[in-house]
Amino acid sequence: MIDTATLRDKARAALTRCGVSDLDGDVLTARSPVTGEPLFGIGGSGDVQSAVASAREAFLQWRNTPAPVRGALVRRLGQLIGEHREELADLVGIEAGKIRSEALGEVQEMIDICDFAQGLSRQLYGRTMPSERPGHRLMETWHPLGVVGVISAFNFPVAVWSWNTAIALTCGNSVVWKPSEQTPLTALACSALLDRAIAETGAPAGLHRLLIGGPEVGEQLVDSPDVPLISATGSTRMGRAVGPRVAARFGRTILELGGNNAAVVSAAADLDLAVNAIVFAAAGTAGQRCTTMRRLIVHEDVADELIDRIAAAYRRLPVGDPFDDKTLVGPLINEAAHDRLRAALTQAASEGGQLLAGGERELTDDASGAFYVRPALVRMPAQSEIVRQETFGPILYAMTYSTLEEAIDLHNGVPQGLSSAIFTRDQREAERFLSADGADCGIVNVNAGTSGAEIGGAFGGEKETGGGRESGSDAWRAYMRRATNTVSYAEELVLAQDVSFL
């Protein structure tokens, strides 16, 4: 197992190469879930008010910069991220405990969204509509909003920032970022790279500001009247606090909150494919993705075979040091996450659940601050309370069904609505799941797991997941305001709906 001194050296080296100077301080202590120990104290980055004020000033200039020129900034950011891929992946591994391929995958997502945003900089299209009046033109134009506040969660410490920031900057906004207090180092590194891209491309300084701190710093950002859009990613609990506060001042939100994602596995499924997809989606990232598969709804004819195969795969999963190439499941983020996982397993047992694999702490003695857990598979009765909750760790609840209607009812019968999947080779079943009275989530997949979305699509979910959309497709519209324009080139005044006046 890698030790804390090595992690500390790795982190310092990565930060230095990314251009972070002036590191040490006492605002926050950076920790690693890999060993559960503190790494070093880091300094703050100024107060919320001055960060917003300088971002606002930069915005006033940036909004008049042609969009394709803005795109050049995001292109440079993507290049710099690519040049620092290894260092950034080191930091993601150190702070979030991700295994190497997932940490590299998260960095790749940043590069991909920068590519996307650069292309978008020439495609911020508005529509032209036929006017009902002669000599008139009706069209819409899109303008930036102002300062975008980004609040992000620990489990995607950099990808979520990049989805928001690459698109917000391309749309002509400036950004103030409040990363998770669990992952300040990745934030410092990304912010330094963006500062460098800003300086190299001649964009206004202050276009991006970083706020290091906990929820109280997030709250100040949320309440700032000069931040027209708050894009907040985290728990539903956080969204419940943030949403009404921003709404009270008529600000806008993009809320990306908790998920409780399920897969339906039909009797017509390719079980080999389903097992691999389910194990990745449920156990990968130690169950700490918003899109992690948490519920399995299996047809009764194939349930025993499928569940046995998943249990066998779970028992073989290499759990441990995320810096070891053979590891597939790294640590939980902290002790509180482990406590919540144990409490959920206790409740599941009290509701008739049968633990088939995993759930126990591994590798470390009780005194250690690191929490490694073998992913848990629990067979549950269809109706139970615990399966309605998101427990942010590797627990998969397996339930059975007999008709597709019943499966869809079970699937939709939870408060969250992020990601869903059906495994079937029966096209009718697949189409039914994709239809309006099928799965009620923002992401609905066929023969692909619930996690691992591409940046090209709009990402987000319904119900208590918050309704926001980020990343690809036309998610950019949430970062802009729309103006509808009527232009008359008629000789006389013509009123709509044939109204005559004067």
Nearest distance, CB of residue 190 and ligand NAD, angstroms: 14
Nearest distance, CB of residue 429 and ligand NAD, angstroms: 27
For 52, 154, 167, 440, 478, the CA distances from 164, given in Å and listed in that order, are 17, 15, 6, 25, 10
Quote the CA–CA distance of 89 and 103 in Å, as a whole number: 5
* Nearer residue to ligand NAD within complex by CB, 257 or 356: 257
Give the active site residue among 290, 390, 464, 470.
290
State yes or no: is 290 an active-site residue.
yes
* Nearer residue to ligand NAD within complex by CB, 429 or 464: 464
Of 351, 373, 161, 409, the closest CA to residue 287 belongs to 373
First-to-last C-alpha distance (Å) of the chain = 85
* Nearer residue to ligand NAD within complex by CB, 303 or 396: 396
Give the active site residue among 106, 109, 181, 256.
256
* Nearer residue to ligand NAD within complex by CB, 438 or 467: 467
Contact 386, 350 (CB under 8 A): no
State yes or no: is 256 an active-site residue.
yes
Helix (H) or strand (E) holding 445: strand 443-446
Of 432, 326, 330, the closest CA to residue 374 belongs to 330
* Nearer residue to ligand NAD within complex by CB, 139 or 241: 241
Identify the burial level of 395 via C-beta atoms within 10 angstroms of its C-beta, where 0-12 means exposed, 13-18 middle and 19 or more buried: buried
Quote the CA–CA distance of 72 and 108 in Å, as a whole number: 19
Q: Which two tokens stand for residue 138?
A: 């009706």
Nearest distance, CB of residue 38 and ligand NAD, angstroms: 18
Nearest distance, CB of residue 271 and ligand NAD, angstroms: 28
* Nearer residue to ligand NAD within complex by CB, 215 or 369: 215
Q: Which residues bind ligand NAD (CB under 6 A)?
A: 151-156, 160, 178, 180-181, 214-215, 218-219, 222, 233-235, 238, 241-242, 256-259, 290, 390, 392, 418, 461, 465
Specify the amino acid at residue 490.
A
Nearest distance, CB of residue 210 and ligand NAD, angstroms: 12
Contacts of 169 (CB under 8 A, 6+ apart): 62, 70, 73, 74, 117, 175, 207, 208
Nearest distance, CB of residue 115 and ligand NAD, angstroms: 21
Which residue is associated with the tokens 């069904």? 401
Catalytic residue numbers read 256, 290
